[in-house]
């Protein structure tokens, strides 16, 4: 709906912050809601001048990916992989128990 | 765990119409991962590796590491899409599926969302009585697998009760194709059978394409089964549940049956179905509630900015189309003729889910009749007793080795069954077991003759009877010799030698 007014509410920002695991203060939420509304509004205005014969695009250039041959290359050692781990055991990362589940 | 109330299957089907849907994840057996050049643990013939030793910076999501698409994985995906009768998108793109869970280091999975590489196809599924059913395919898209979590501290290794988890990123980035069906109507009382047959067909297709190891027990092929019920005569679909990670053909069948019976009981009691994922428990044959649909399912997909669209050349698509193997149904008919099996003999093999195993066993040099005898006999018996798929017990190579050992007289049938038990227990190849446990038939005549002479000396009356021409009396001596040899002798040869020594 390109003509609907674009508003990012405080609730939207809180929802997104929760999904992104970002802690925000009430002032920050307020501030971001205003900023994001402005950004979305700007995009909406651009969309208004787009005619139906302009295809949507996710990349500005009509390039296609250059694939890689299926040949084994760089591999890290277990030591390298775990070098940044706050905790490791039995060659694996130790993470807090997550009360979710695999996606 | 609370016990679910179940309605009888027939009654459930009388009152409700089941609607099915499947998401099957196939790990591709490329040499390297989807977006990095680290070795793929699901590669053809890959051995199990130490944790976190098949990992590149991209798989870890290290800052600055950029994904590059594996050309072979794209080819495999196109071949699979074509085999599923799908159209191949002239341009498809990757998307980020954002979620926080430690099985991926990046906090997102690279998948495909609005532009999958393959869409709109169908698969012919053959049921146990030989009839055919068309399963409509919605899409097949490329993505990366996630790492493996081990939950520690809980009593059962399940998530509940764990106090921490261990993460191995070897599997992170393994190329996956996810095949999504459209809703499958009209399955009726055959819903569980159709579920099993569909997954078996996908397994056969990816095996015939040679694009996946397709071992369900290793997670190369994983099925999420969606089941919903609607009262007879109702148009709108019922609320569905998604049973995750059902890892054998047998379990797919059982899980669908269970969900139909469980949901029917809830609906009949005036309750409503919660839209949720459910976990299948192999040990109890039940499902339990996982996670309800919630905020966490807001994945905020957006186009992956680190990757350009995939635009396969039309020539490549045509080349792959021309190279497609015959469909599993056609292929089966040809195999049946090659192996000289009757319709019912062949159907038994297919229905037992051991066709691929049988085929590989024969390719390793075994006679078709022998291969059939072992897979449908002793191996299937053990598999059924343990409630697992026969193919997970023993490799076709080992079965062909076992058959060769019986054919050349090293093992009697009885000894071979013993050897099989040890092979299944993980003691190594049949040759290894025979050597390590000394189970070979004693074909050394000197040893046999010594045992025979001892037995004859101990039973002079029998010796006399044999000399008097009462050949059947030899049975007692043969028995004694076989016992002395702990069964490791060829009874026919012992008999020959007994008669020879008695008349000496």
d(CA B215, CA B203): 8
B427 and B409 in a common domain: yes
Helix (H, G, I), strand (E, B) or coil at B111: strand
Residues of chain A found within 8 Å of residue B162, distances taken between Cβ atoms: 97
Q: How far is CA B49 from the centre of its chain?
A: 21
B391 and B363 in a common domain: yes
CB contact under 8 A, A97 and B54: no
B407 and B478 in a common domain: no
Residue B2 lies in a domain: no
Domain that holds residue B14: 9-318
**Tens of pLDDT along B391-423?**
889 999 999 999 999 988 888 888 899 899 999
**Tens of pLDDT along B129-179?**
878 899 999 999 999 999 999 888 765 555 556 688 999 999 999 999 999
Helix (H, G, I), strand (E, B) or coil at B16: strand
**Tens of pLDDT along B81-130?**
999 999 999 999 999 999 888 899 999 999 999 999 999 999 999 888 87
d(CA B237, CA B256): 17
Pick the last residue of a domain from B287, B318, B349: B318
**Cross-chain CB nearest to B72 (options A18, A70, A81):** A70
> What single-letter DSSP state applies at residue B180?
E
CB contact under 8 A, A75 and B55: yes
Cβ atoms < 10 Å from Cβ of B119: 19
Residue B413 lies in a domain: yes
Buried b (16+ CB within 10 A) or exposed e, B294-332: eebeebeeebbeebbbbebeeeebeebeeeeeebbeebb
Residue B1 lies in a domain: no
Residues of chain A found within 8 Å of residue B247, distances taken between Cβ atoms: none
B454 and B423 in a common domain: no
Q: Going from the N-terminus, what domains does chain A have, and what CATH number goes with each? A: 1-51 (1.10.20)
pTM over 0.80: no
What is the number of structural domains in chain B?
3
Which of these, B243, B236, B237, B176, lies nearest to B30 by C-alpha position? B176
Residues of chain A found within 8 Å of residue B244, distances taken between Cβ atoms: 102
Chain A: residue nearest B34 by CA? A70
Task: Enumerate residues 6+ apart whose C-beta is below 8 A from B323.
Answer: B79
8 Å CB contact between A67 and B117: no
CB contact under 8 A, A97 and B309: no
Please tell me whether the interface predicted TM-score (ipTM) of this complex is above 0.85.
no
DSSP code per residue over A29-78: HHHHHHHHHHHHHHHHHHHHT--TTS---SSSS------B-S-------H
Which of these, B191, B267, B278, B274, lies nearest to B242 by C-alpha position? B278
CB contact under 8 A, B55 and A81: yes
Tokens, residue B24: 């099957």
B391 and B299 in a common domain: no
- What pLDDT, on the 0 to 100 scale, is given for residue B294? 64
| Nearest-5° Cα angle at B182, B178 to B186 | 135
**Chain A nearest C-alpha distance from B245 (Å):** 10
Chain A: residue nearest B169 by CA? A92
**Cross-chain CB nearest to A70 (options B30, B300, B303):** B30
CB contact under 8 A, B159 and A99: yes
d(CA A63, CA B412): 66
- What pLDDT, on the 0 to 100 scale, is given for residue A103? 42
Pick the last residue of a domain from B318, B345, B363: B318
Beta-strand pair B276-281/B241-246: parallel
Average pLDDT (A14-40) is 92
Residues of chain A found within 8 Å of residue B31, distances taken between Cβ atoms: 70-72
B208 and B62 in a common domain: yes
Cβ atoms < 10 Å from Cβ of B20: 24
């Amino acid at each position: 709906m390109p003509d609907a007014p674009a508003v990012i509410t405080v609730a939207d920002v809180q929802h997104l912050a929760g999904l992104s695991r970002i802690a925000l203060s009430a002032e920050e939420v307020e501030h971001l809601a205003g900023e994001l509304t402005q950004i979305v509004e700007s995009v909406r205005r651009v969309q208004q001048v787009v005619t139906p014969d302009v295809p949507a695009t996710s990349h500005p250039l009509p390039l296609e990916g250059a694939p890689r041959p299926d040949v084994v290359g760089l591999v890290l050692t277990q030591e390298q992989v775990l070098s940044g781990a706050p905790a490791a055991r039995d060659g694996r990362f130790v993470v807090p128990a997550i009360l979710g589940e695999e996606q | 765990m609370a016990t679910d109330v179940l309605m009888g299957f027939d009654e459930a089907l009388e009152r409700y119409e089941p609607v099915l849907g499947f998401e099957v994840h196939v790990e591709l057996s490329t040499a390297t991962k989807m977006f990095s050049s680290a070795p793929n643990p699901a590669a053809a013939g890959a051995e199990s590796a130490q944790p976190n030793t098949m990992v590149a910076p991209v798989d870890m999501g290290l800052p600055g590491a950029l994904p590059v698409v594996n050309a072979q994985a794209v080819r495999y995906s196109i071949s699979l899409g074509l085999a599923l009768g799908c159209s191949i998108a002239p341009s498809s793109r990757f998307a980020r599926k954002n979620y926080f869970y430690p099985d991926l280091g990046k906090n997102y999975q690279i998948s495909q969302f609005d532009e999958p590489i393959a869409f709109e196809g169908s698969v012919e599924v053959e049921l146990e009585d030989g009839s055919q059913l068309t399963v409509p395919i919605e899409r097949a898209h490329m993505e990366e697998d996630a790492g493996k979590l081990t939950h520690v501290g809980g009593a059962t290794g399940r998530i509940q009760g764990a106090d921490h988890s261990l993460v191995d990123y070897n599997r992170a980035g393994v190329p996956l194709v996810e095949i999504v069906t459209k809703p499958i109507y009209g399955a009726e009382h055959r819903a569980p059978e159709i579920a099993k047959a569909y997954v078996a067909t996908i397994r056969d297709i990816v095996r015939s394409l040679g694009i996946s190891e397709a071992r369900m027990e290793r997670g190369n092929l994983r099925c999420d089964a969606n089941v919903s019920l609607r009262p007879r005569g109702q148009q709108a679909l019922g609320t569905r549940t998604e049973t995750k990670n059902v890892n054998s053909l047998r379990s797919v069948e059982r899980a669908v049956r269970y969900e139909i019976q469980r949901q029917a009981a809830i609906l009949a009691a005036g309750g409503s179905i919660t839209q949720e994922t459910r976990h299948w428990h192999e040990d109890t044959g039940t499902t339990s509630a996982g996670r309800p649909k919630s905020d966490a399912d807001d994945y905020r997909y957006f186009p992956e900015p680190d990757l350009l669209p995939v635009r396969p050349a039309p020539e490549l698509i045509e080349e792959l189309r021309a190279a497609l193997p015959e469909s599993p149904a056609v292929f089966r008919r040809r195999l049946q003729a090659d192996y000289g099996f009757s319709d019912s003999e062949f159907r038994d093999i297919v229905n037992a889910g051991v066709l691929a195993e049988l085929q590989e066993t024969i390719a390793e040099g075994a006679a078709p009749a022998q291969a059939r005898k072992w897979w449908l006999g002793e191996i299937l018996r053990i598999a059924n007793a343990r409630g697992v798929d026969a193919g997970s017990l023993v490799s076709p190579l080992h079965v062909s080795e076992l058959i060769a050992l019986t054919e050349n007289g090293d093992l009697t049938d009885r000894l071979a069954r013993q050897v099989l038990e040890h092979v299944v227990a993980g003691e190594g190849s049949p040759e290894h077991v025979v050597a390590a446990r000394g189970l070979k038939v004693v074909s050394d005549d000197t040893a046999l003759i010594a045992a025979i002479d001892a037995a004859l000396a101990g039973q002079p009356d029998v010796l006399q009877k044999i000399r008097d021409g009462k050949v059947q009396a030899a049975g007692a001596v043969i028995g004694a010799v076989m016992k002395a040899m702990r069964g490791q002798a060829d009874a026919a040869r012992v008999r020959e030698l007994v008669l020879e020594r008695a008349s000496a």
